[in-house]
Chain A
Amino acid sequence: MARDAAMRRRSFFARLGALLGAAAIPARAQIRFQPPQDITPFIMEITKGITPEKSGVEVELPVLVENGNTVPLRVRVASPMTEADHVKAIHVFAERNPRPRVASFFLGPQCGKAEVSARVRLAGTQTVTVLAELSGNRFRVGPRDVLVTSGACLDDASL
């Protein structure tokens, strides 16, 4: 019991330090200890070397994210969604997440509309990149910068 309490106290202070530290440091300095990863290899793996077109992908995210644990994301890709011309997949990458590959969504003409919404985790201020894979071996990419702020009343040790 006493050991338990001591451990809890210790982890509490560790957490507190980490949280206060992370929260107090401006975005630019944060990037230094949690650098964005180059997501080009992830994209190349899908496009097999084809350079994606930088248009036609609309990425909707809050202007200012209040908590990076749950961030509403909406992606719209300009496409008629016909048998001949449709979006096959939408891939979401977050360069500063420890695992940048957030999710892949697979669609087809039966969807009728190339639009997907999700709630994602974002580990700090960064660029979110959405890659759309179109029929006919074509690709479109839409980067979107997002500012993830930190609140002061952080805890998960209250349980």
Chain B
Amino acid sequence: MRPLVLLLSCAALQCAAEDIPSRPSPLKGGIEFQGEAIRAMQADAFGNPGMLWVDRGAALWKAPAGARKVSCASCHGADGSSMNGVAVRYPSYVASLGGVVDLEQRVNACVTGNQEARAFAWESQELLALTAFIASRSRGMPIVPDPSPDSDATYERGRSIYFQRQGQLNLACTNCHDASWGKRLLSEPISQGHPADWPAYRLEWQAMGSLERRLRACYLGVRAEMPAYGSPDLVALEVYLARRASGVVSNPPGVRR
């Protein structure tokens, strides 16, 4: 029974992948569009600057917090191995939350719901550290988009945003990341726009940032109004990108230009 279910769900996934109107071929993760120095920095388990956030996240993971004075480790185990392969499945539909959430929102739901602590602010060092730590437990794993039909509507919303021209430059995501990937904007190669390796340390920011921040930077790039952190538009876009990137190997924390 189990293999059959697996087979069916794989078939459904395959089907979904083929339906995706903009799946570049061959699929190339963002790291393949970085130069040699950046690729070396990401691969360096000690020298990758994102590992500073991973280490900090590992410490936070074990720190009791909130009214209930429990740590992540209290429920999920001290070494975080229970998080293996979790980040590559996000965003996901979470029944207990009644909606589709990304990794940052999932962490905060746990912080407020189970620790009864105050939610971490978006892009706070703590949230970046925790998500970097959790994501690091998916190093080397392919992106496995949420197969739940409950995320289909969110996917549809993301898909329509992806093809919507916007901003003063009147560009849609697809104009760069499908029509022009591999070409250059000034000296910068245009990527296929996959969400692999996030959260990532971006040299331009000189800091760690979430995928939502990177997406907001794209809105800024086309001179469009940036959606607020955690807005349904950004989460929907993340869902669309995850299905589009199904199978792309993720190595968080990433390093980007």
Contact = CB atoms under 8 A, between A and B. Distances in A.
Interface of A: 12, 16, 23-24, 62, 64-67, 69-72, 149-159
Q: Which of A23, A72, A151, A153 has the most CB of B within 10 A?
A: A153
A62 B36 contact: yes
A159 B212 CA distance: 10
Contacts of A69: 203-204, 206
Contact of A155 (B49, B188, B204): B204
B95 interface: no
Contacts of B187: 64, 66, 149-151
B220 A158 contact: yes
A150 B49 CA distance: 21
B205 interface: yes
Interface of B: 34-38, 40-41, 49, 123, 185-188, 203-206, 209, 213-214, 216-221, 223, 226, 257
A67 B188 CA distance: 10
Nearest to A62: B37
Given A151-B257, A155-B220, A70 B206 contact: yes
Nearest to B205: A156
B164 to A, nearest CB: 19
Contacts of A62: 35-37
Given A158-B220, A159-B213, A72 B188 contact: no
Contacts of B209: 158-159
Contacts of A153: 185, 188, 204, 217-218, 221, 257
Contacts of A64: 35, 187
B35 A151 contact: no
Given A24-B186, A157-B220, A151 B37 contact: no
Of all A-B residue pairs in the complex, the 10 with the closest CB atoms, nearest first, are: A152-B185, A151-B188, A149-B187, A158-B217, A67-B203, A158-B216, A62-B37, A152-B186, A70-B203, A155-B217
